Amino acid sequence: MATRCSFENSNEVGVFASLTNAYCLTGIGGSENFYSIFEAELSEHIPVIHATIGGNRFVGRTVAGNRRGLLVPNTATDLELQHLRNSLPDAVVVQRIEERLSALGNVIAANDYVALVHPDTDRETEDVVADVLGVEVFRQTVGGHALVGSYSKFTNQGGMVHPRTSLEDIEELSSLLQVPLVAGTVNRGSDVLGGGMVVNDFAAFCGLDTTGTEISVIESIFKLQTQQQQAGQQQQQGLVAGMRASLIDQL
């Protein structure tokens, strides 16, 4: 179910929040509106946690994680790290890494099985990611953009890349990630998907500017619709009809 929300009048939800299947982090805002939206949706399933990283509230772009772990940059203070360790469930491993590219949310895109990292990250970071998150790591760009966390967003169900990605790239990525991919936009035609929305397997949050068309694309690719909606939409559009076909693994 895709929900529209805004953080203090900004449509860039993915900047201020980080959402996985096991937890949700939100930045600290002036009012609790943003937090309460997440709380309303998610609190019965997963913990929703206030956090800052290095005193900054753009936690969505500085941390990266999945249900097994969370990686924080070296800018996170000890106090914040401690707070995260306390708040998160024990199954989630919190690890601080030393990395030159410290905006881990931009640099790493991961679901529970596979991760893409910026091609310029260190070898140790790649090892840590593989270790902490328990995923297979690929160094890859997304349609020419190196900031994989910004220009793509994928979960265990599906994924979305920015609109200028070529067909060959999408195919390649899709085979790597083993999820269906689609090129789309969010927040009324914005290319930056990672900053514009947060998604997990059962929920999605995007900015207030997101149009209905974009919402429908998001819901269909990330499989957030109910059966009813799915049936209805299937009739209307052949947009993602090709993705209904079973995955054929061609390597």
Partner 1 sequence: MTILASSASPTSSSGSILRSSSSTMNQGGGGTTAAVARIQPTQPVFVPHLHHPQQQMASYTAVQIPCCLCGTMIWPNAANKCSACLASQLDVASIVQRGPGGGDIVVYQCRQCRRYQRFDGSNNKNASYQAMEPESPELLALCLKHIPAVSTSSSSSNNHQFSASFSSTLSSSSSSMPKFHIVDAHWIWTEPHSMRFKVHLTVRYSIEQVPVQQRVSVELKNQWKQCPDCNREFTNRTWHAVVQLRQTPPAACSNNSNNNNSNNSNGGSGSKRGLAALEMAIAQQATIRKHVLKIDATKNGFDFYFLDLAQAQAFGSYLQRLHPMRAMKSSSKLVSTDVKNNTANLRHTLQCDLVPLCRDDLVLVNKRVMGGAQKLAGRLALVDKVSSVLTLLDASPSVVAVHAGSSSSATPTTTLLLKDCIMELSAENYYRNEKHIRWLQSSDRLTRFVVLDVELLQTTIRGKESGIAPEEGGVPSSSSSSLYQGPQSGLSKYALAEVVVVRESDFGTDPNAETITVVTHLGHLLQAGDIALGYDLARTVGGDWELDSRSLHNHFVVPDVVLVKKETNKKKNKNSVDDDDNDNNNRQDLVSNKKKKKGSKHMTKKREKRKLRKEGKKMRALEESAARMGFIEGGGAANVLPTPDEEDDDDEEEGDDDDDAASKQDNNKNNNRDFEDELWNDPEMAEELKQLEQALEAAAVGPSSSRDKNNDNTSASETTTTTTTTRTTTTRPAEVQQPPLKSEPETKADEVPSDD
The answer to whether residue 242 forms part of the interface with partner 1 (CB under 8 A) is yes
Does residue 232 touch partner 1 according to CB under 8 A?
no
Among 4, 83, 188, 223, which residue interacts with partner 1 (rule: CB under 8 A)? 188
Our CB check for partner 1 shows the closer of 48 and 116 to be 116
Environment class of residue 232 by beta-carbon count within 10 Å: exposed (0-12), middle (13-18) or buried (19+)? exposed
Give the DSSP H or E segment for 240.
Answer: none
Nearest CB to partner 1, comparing residues 84 and 170: 170
| One of 175, 229, 230, 233 touching partner 1 (CB under 8 A) | 175
Per CB under 8 A, 189 contacts partner 1: yes
Alpha-helical regions (H) of the chain: 13-16, 33-42, 59-62, 78-87, 104-107, 123-133, 148-151, 167-177, 193-196, 212-221, 227-236, 241-244
182: contact with partner 1 by CB under 8 A:
yes
Please, which residue, 27 or 180, has the CB nearer to partner 1?
A: 180
Q: Does 43 bind partner 1 (CB under 8 A)?
A: no
Residue 247 CB neighbour total at 10 angstroms: 11
Distance of CA 39 to the CA centre of its chain: 18
Contact between residue 77 and residue 51 where contact means Cβ atoms under 8 Å apart: no
**Under the criterion CB under 8 A, does residue 183 sit at the interface with partner 1?**
yes
Q: Among 121, 155, 165, 225, which residue sits at the site for partner 1 (rule: CB under 8 A)?
A: 165
Task: Find out whether 64 and 71 touch, Cβ atoms under 8 Å.
Answer: yes
The verdict on 176 binding partner 1 (CB under 8 A) reads: no
Q: How many helices (H) and strands (E) does the chain have?
A: 12, 15
d(CA 126, CA 140): 12
Site string for partner 1, 198-217 (x = CB under 8 A): -------------xxxx-xx
The CB-of-10 to partner 1 minimum distance in angstroms stands at 16
Residue 239 lies near partner 1 (rule: CB under 8 A): yes
| Distance set, CA 115 to CA 21, 128, 131, 149 (Å) | 15, 12, 12, 10
> In angstroms, what is the minimal distance from the CB of 207 to partner 1?
12
- Closer to partner 1 by CB, 31 or 250: give it: 250
Residues found near partner 1 in the complex (CB under 8 A)? 119, 141, 143-146, 163-171, 174-175, 180-185, 188-191, 211-214, 216-217, 237-239, 241-243, 247-250
